[in-house]
Structure 1
Amino acid sequence: MKIAELISWFEEWANPAWCESWDNCGWQVEPGVLEKRARVLVCLTPTLAVMQEAIALDANLIFAHHPLIFSPPKSLLSGEAIAEMVRLAFTHNIGIYSAHTNFDQVEDGTADVLAQILELKEVTPIVPTQAGLGYGRVGMLEPFLTLQELLIAIQTRLTPPNLIVSPTADLQQPISRVAVLGGSGASFISAVVKTGAQAYLTSDCKFHQFQESRDRSLILIDAGHYATERPACDRLVQKFGFLNLDSVQLSHEDEDFRQFFT
C-alpha cells in the first residue's frame, strides 16, 4: 500500500476536518513520499529521538498522535528541535503526519481504547460531536469494582509512573459508572459530572481541578498524559497491521516526559 492510500484510508475513518480550530491535524511534513510504499513508525509524540529511530528502521512515515507543529513558527533555525525534524524529514524522505483531536473522537481512538481497557459497558461519548462519536467515553463497570480495585486495575493495565487521585475516605466504596478521556481532560469535568460518572480517568489535572471535582462528588484520577494516550497508538499499529503495508512498528523511543523522583 502506498502512503497516499494509507492516508486516504485513515482519513475516511478519522477525518482531519473534525479537528479543533486550535489544533493541527494532517500532514506536518510531506517531503514527496506519497507514492512510496508505506513503511510506518507510529508514535505518540514526534521527537528527534523518534526521527532517529525512523531513520535507523528505514521508515518513510512517522504517524504521530501529537502534532509536530501546533502553531505557525516564525522561523526555522538550525539546532532548534522543529527545524531539525523538518531538515531530517526532507534529507531522509520521511513524512510526518498527525492525527490528534480527530483521532480522539473516533471508535478505537484515544478515549475508546481506554474504555475498552477498563472493560466498560454501554459506552457513550462524554461530549458527542456527531453520530456515535465524540470526546471521552463514559460507561458501566459490570460487575462494579471498589475504588481500590479500580485504581489497582488502572495501575496494572496502564502502568503509569504514578496515580494522582482525589482524596477519599472510603477506598471500598463501590464504583459502577466511570468516565475516561485520554490526554488533558480537566476542562471536561463539568460535562463528566452531568453523565453521572462516579470516577473520571484523565490526565494533566491541576490543584484546583481536584478541588472542583471533590466539591462536585467526582473522583478524579490522573494517570498522566503518556499512559492515557499511548495505548491508542498501540491499537493503531494493530489496525495498520491488517493493511498491505511494507512495515509498521510502534516507536520504542517514544517518551513520557515526566519522571517522579522517589
Structure 2
Amino acid sequence: MTIADLITWFEEWANPAWCESWDNSGWQIEPGVLEQEARVLVCLTPTLSVMAEAIALNANLIFAHHPLIFHPLKSLRTGEALAEMARLAFTHNIGIYTAHTNFDQVNDGTADVLAQMLHLQAVSPIVPTQLGLGYGRVGMLKPSLKLQELLTTIQTQLRPPKLIFSPTADLQQEISRVAVLGGSGAGFISAVVKTNAQAYLTADCKFHQFQESRDQGLILIDVGHYASERPSCDCLAQKFQSLDLDWVQLSQKDEDFRQFLSH
C-alpha cells in the first residue's frame, strides 16, 4: 500500500474536516513520498528523537497524533528543533502526518481506547459531534468497582508515572459510571457532570479544576497527557498492521517530557 492510499484510507475513517479551527491536522511535511510503499512509524509526538528513530529504521512516514506545526511559522533557523525536523524530513524523504482532533472523535480513537481499556459498557460521547461520534466517552462499569479498585485498574492499565485524584473521604465508594477523555480534558468537566459520571479520567488538570470537580461531586483522575493518549497510538499501529503495508511499528522513542522524583 502506498502512502497516498494509506492516507486516503485513514481520512475516510477520521476525516480531517472534523478538526477544530485551532487545530492543524493532516500533512505537516510531505517531501514527495506519496507514491512510495508505506513504511510507517506511529508516535504520539513528532520529535527529533522520533525522527532519528525513523531514519534508523528506514521509515518514510511518521504518523503522529500531536501536530508538529501548531502556529503559523515566522522563520526557520538553524538550531531550532522544528527547523531541524523539517531539514531531516526533506533530507531523508520522511513525511510527517498528524491526526489530532479528528482522531479524538472516532471509534478506536483516543477516548474510545481508554473506554475499552476500562471495559466500559453502553458507551457514548461526552460531547457528541457528528455521526454518533464526539469528544470523550462515558459508560458503565459492570460490575461496579470501589474507587480504590478503579484507581488500581487505571494504574495497571495505563502505568502513569504519577496518578493524581480528587480528595475523597471514601476509597470504598462504589463507582459504576465513568467518563474518559485523552489529553487535556479539564475543559470538559461541566459536560462530564451532566452525564452523571461519578469519576472522570483525563489529563493536564490544574489545582482549581480539582476544586471545581470536587465541588460538583465528580472524582477527577489525572494520569498525565502521555499515559492518557499513548495507548491509542498502539491501537492505531495495530490497525495499520492489519493493512497491506510494507512495514509499520509503534515508536519506542516517544517522550513524556516529564520526570518525577521517586520517594
Tell me the TM-score normalized by structure 1: 1.00
Give the AA of the match of 1:15.
N
What is the alpha-carbon distance in structure 2 between the residues aligned to residue 172 and residue 233 of structure 1? 33
Which portions of structure 1, spanning 4 or more consecutive aligned residues, are displaced by more than 3 angstroms?
none
Deviations 1:213-234 (A, max 9, x none): 0000000000000000000000
Query: What residue number does 1:259 align with?
Result: 259
| 1:22-37 → structure 2 map (5 Å cutoff) | 22-37=22-37
Query: What residue number does 2:12 align with?
Result: 12
Q: Displacement of 1:73 after TM fit?
A: 1.2
1:150 aligned onto 2:150: yes
What is the alpha-carbon distance in structure 2 between the residues aligned to residue 179 and residue 68 of structure 1? 29
SS in 1 for 2:150: helix
Aligned length: 262
Query: What residue number does 1:131 align with?
Result: 131
Q: Displacement of 1:44 after TM fit?
A: 0.1
Query: What residue number does 1:198 align with?
Result: 198
Query: What residue number does 1:78 align with?
Result: 78
What is the alpha-carbon distance in structure 1 between the residues aligned to residue 162 and residue 149 of structure 2? 16
Give the AA of the match of 1:187.
G
What is the alpha-carbon distance in structure 1 between the residues aligned to residue 246 and residue 100 of structure 2? 24
Query: What residue number does 1:248 align with?
Result: 248
Query: What residue number does 2:230 align with?
Result: 230
SS in 1 for 2:187: helix
SS in 2 for 1:130: coil
What is the alpha-carbon distance in structure 2 between the residues aligned to residue 9 and residue 28 of structure 1? 18
Structure 2 residue runs without a partner (length 5+): none
Deviations 1:180-220 (A, max 9, x none): 00000000000000000000000000000000000000000
What is the alpha-carbon distance in structure 1 between the residues aligned to residue 151 and residue 220 of structure 2? 11
| 1:42-191 → structure 2 map (5 Å cutoff) | 42-191=42-191
Structure 1 residue runs without a partner (length 5+): none
Deviations 1:92-151 (A, max 9, x none): 000000000000000000000000000000000000001210000000000000000000
Deviations 1:220-259 (A, max 9, x none): 0000000000000000011000111000000000011111
What is the alpha-carbon distance in structure 2 between the residues aligned to residue 184 and residue 53 of structure 1? 27
Q: Displacement of 1:21 after TM fit?
A: 0.5
Deviations 1:16-38 (A, max 9, x none): 11110000000000000000000
What is the alpha-carbon distance in structure 1 between the residues aligned to residue 179 and residue 146 of structure 2? 15
SS in 1 for 2:62: strand
Q: Displacement of 1:167 after TM fit?
A: 0.1
What is the alpha-carbon distance in structure 2 between the residues aligned to residue 72 and residue 100 of structure 1? 17
SS in 1 for 2:69: coil
Give the AA of the match of 1:5.
D
Give the AA of the match of 2:229.
E
What is the alpha-carbon distance in structure 2 between the residues aligned to residue 181 and residue 260 of structure 1? 23
What is the alpha-carbon distance in structure 2 between the residues aligned to residue 13 and residue 31 of structure 1? 24
